[in-house]
Amino acid sequence: MSQTTTIRRRSTVTAVGVLTAIGLLAGCAGSSAPTEPGADAPVTITYVGYGGAGQDAQIEAWQKPYTEAHPNVTFVNTSPPDVAQVKAQVDVGAVQWDVVATAPYAAEQNCDTLFEPLDITLSVPEADLAPGSIGKCYTANWINATPLAYRTDAFPNGGPKTVEDFFDVDKFPGTRGMVTNLQNGILEYAAIAGGADPEKLYPLDVDKALDELDTIRSSTTFAPNVGALQQAVSAGQVDMFFLPDSRIVPLLQEGTDVTVVWDVTVASINAFAVPKGSPHKTAAEQFLASVMEPGPVAKISELLGVAPINEAAQPKLDEFTSQVEVYNPATNAGTTVLQDIPWYTKNFNDASTKLTNWLAG
């Protein structure tokens, strides 16, 4: 399936390309493959996520049902998915981790060195999956949208309605918030505000995007991670912001009055990879295939508010998750852009360096 195809996953939503980014960087030498146990032998998969409520939801949505269906497979959970640890394990040929949360670009950059090429036998039609859901060294688990939103009480006469409004400090004065992690759309939103066509964003003009960010630098909190920005919103320190769907849901649940704006929304595929030399590669691959089935896909969407990677999934959204689900036609009549995985695989290091230098400037 092409990773650069423009698709329409719902009649009201356009998705372009595919892609995301967390900072798993340098590759390293591989090690010899271990011998795996027999098909029915007890297997413990070491699963590495980001901890907290998100990983608890993954245990509930994916791991517990999988163990119920496959009693010989159990899980040990740890966090975070530290690239230094992956590298150290691979370098000495003593890999302990089996399933690691990562970004597609990072897995592809380090394919067959840091991460295993995968042999996934799908139990679902690949046509049902979002483009870019399966790479050489990763499989998708969900889609994170990072919509524009604002604290309703900060704008009693109506808040921003477009990405351009977010960048218009005269029309909409107030404090702003963006996450500096590239997977949360900081460059894409700046490019769109600067006049780029949302359906023709890639290749991104990074320098022009940074110029656009200059226009809001003095009024914007550039948070190093999504948790920091979520806390700033909760504390009333930020009036308008771009924040992932799964981080807006807790704000709504705690009673923060947030309005989500469905104009152009940047979304990214989140993924899993298997470290090179994993002792349970086959078992891990079988588990990863199950994560893409409609039931598990729907369950994680219900628990976190993330968007499903499988069109056949039918999540039962509640009053909070329904407000942030980017592929919910009842709420989102705007355009959705999936970040482009091939572009980030090739250009992440350069783009990240430029953004880091800009932030330090």
- 71-97, pLDDT tens digit by residue? 999 999 999 998 889 999 999 999 999
Are 123 and 101 members of one domain?
yes
- State residue 83's pLDDT score: 80
pLDDT tens digits, residue range 144-160?
A: 999 999 999 999 999 99
Q: Are residues 231 and 295 in the same domain?
A: no
- Say what the pLDDT of residue 312 is: 98
User: Does residue 300 fall inside a structural domain?
Assistant: yes
Per-residue pLDDT at 330: 86
Asked if the structure places residue 339 within a domain, the reply is no
CATH number, domain at 134? 3.40.190.10
> pLDDT tens digits, residue range 207-225?
999 999 999 999 999 999 9
| Same-domain status, 124 and 222 | no
Largest CA distance in the chain: 66
**Cα–Cα dist 254/270, whole Å:** 26
pLDDT of residue 328: 85
Is residue 40 over pLDDT 90?
A: no
Q: Report the candidate in 182, 177, 107 with the shortest Cα–Cα distance to residue 141.
A: 107
Within 8 A by CB and 6+ apart from 56, the residues are none
Flag whether pLDDT at 5 surpasses 90.
Answer: no
* Model pLDDT for residues 271-324, shown as the tens digit of each residue: 999 999 999 999 999 999 999 999 999 999 999 999 999 999 999 999 999 999
User: 114 and 58, same structural domain?
Assistant: yes
The reply to whether 340 falls in a domain is no
Q: Phi first, then psi: give them for residue 79, nearest 5 degrees.
A: -160, 165
* pLDDT for the residue 84: 82
Q: Where are the beta strands (DSSP E) in 169-239?
A: 176-179, 220-223
* Position 137 pLDDT exceeds 70: yes
Whether residue 244 sits in one domain with residue 101: no
Predicted confidence at residue 307, as pLDDT, reads 97
Q: What is the DSSP track for 259-297?
A: EEEEEEEEEEEEEEE-BTT-TTHHHHHHHHHHHTSHHHH
Q: What is the pLDDT at residue 19?
A: 32
Domain housing 195: 144-267+347-360
Q: Does 241 share its domain with 353?
A: yes
Domain match, 56 and 100 both = yes
Same domain, 149 and 139: no
Shared-domain flag, residues 253 and 191 = yes
Whether 356 shows a pLDDT value over 70: the answer reads yes
Mean pLDDT of the 104-123 span: 96
Whether 95 and 198 map to the same domain: the answer is no
Bridge partners, 259 (sequence order):
150
pLDDT of residue 39: 66
Residue 243 lies in a domain: yes
Higher pLDDT, 30 or 40: 40
My answer on whether 309 and 351 are in the same domain is: no
Q: Residue 82 has what pLDDT?
A: 84
- Number of separate domains in the chain: 2
* Claim to verify: residue 28 and residue 116 sit in the same structural domain: yes
Exposure of 143 in the CB half-sphere (CA atoms within 13 A): 35
* Contact (CB, 8 A) for 315 and 256: no
pLDDT for position 36: 60
**pLDDT of 2 above 70:** no
Q: Hey, which bits of the chain come out as E strands?
A: 7-10, 13-15, 43-48, 73-78, 99-102, 139-151, 176-179, 220-223, 240-242, 258-273, 335-338
Between the ranges 17-21, 37-41, 177-181, where is the mean pLDDT highest? 177-181
